[in-house]
Amino acid sequence: MDRSYAVENARERQRLQTLIASLSDEDLTRPLPNGWTVAITLAHLAFWDHQRLAVLKQWERAGVRPAPVDTDTINEGVRLLAAVIPPRRAAQAAIEAAEAIDQALEHMAADLLTAIEAGGQSRILTRSAHRRAHLDQIDAALRRKPAAG
């Protein structure tokens, strides 16, 4: 059973932890090009890692089956809720969620992992891709000078 995704997940989780440790409260409220803030994006990551962990637990109980979601509408709901979460708490939630799903994936039974991959659901295993995309977005925003004002 190839678990190379675990290495990538751990790498991006470490990147997340390192980034968050370096963020000031001002950094957490910095806007991103999509209109979100750094903190909202971190809360978004926390939500999706927890959502995917819930799917994995359901699959452990009931077997692997398609897990379709409408990400656009879910993301909009997450954005609205994430905007009211204190920014530092959103950052911590992102770390906690990443650790929780990565640990679950590292200890998941091989037969369940095989079923996930066979069912075309392997994207759920590679949390690193989702983290990487948003961490790249945050890094780019932090490198830009804040607007004077």
pLDDT for residue 3 is more than 60 = yes
pLDDT at 146: 66
For the chain, what is the domain count?
1
CA distances from 39 to 49, 94, 133 (A): 15, 9, 15
Domain assignment present for 12:
yes
Kindly state whether residue 148 falls inside one of the protein's structural domains: no
In a domain, 21, yes or no: yes
The radius of gyration computed from the CA coordinates of the chain, to the nearest angstrom, equals: 16
Q: Give me the phi and psi of 3, to 5 degrees please.
A: -115, 35
**Amino acid letter, residue 88:** R
- Could you tell me if residue 113 is inside a domain? yes
The enclosing domain of 67 has a CATH number of 1.20.120.450
Q: Tell me the residue range of the domain where 119 lies.
A: 4-143
- Identify whether 128 is part of a domain: yes
Domain annotation covers residue 149: no
pTM of the model: 0.84
Give residue-wise pLDDT tens across range 93-108: 999 999 999 999 999 9
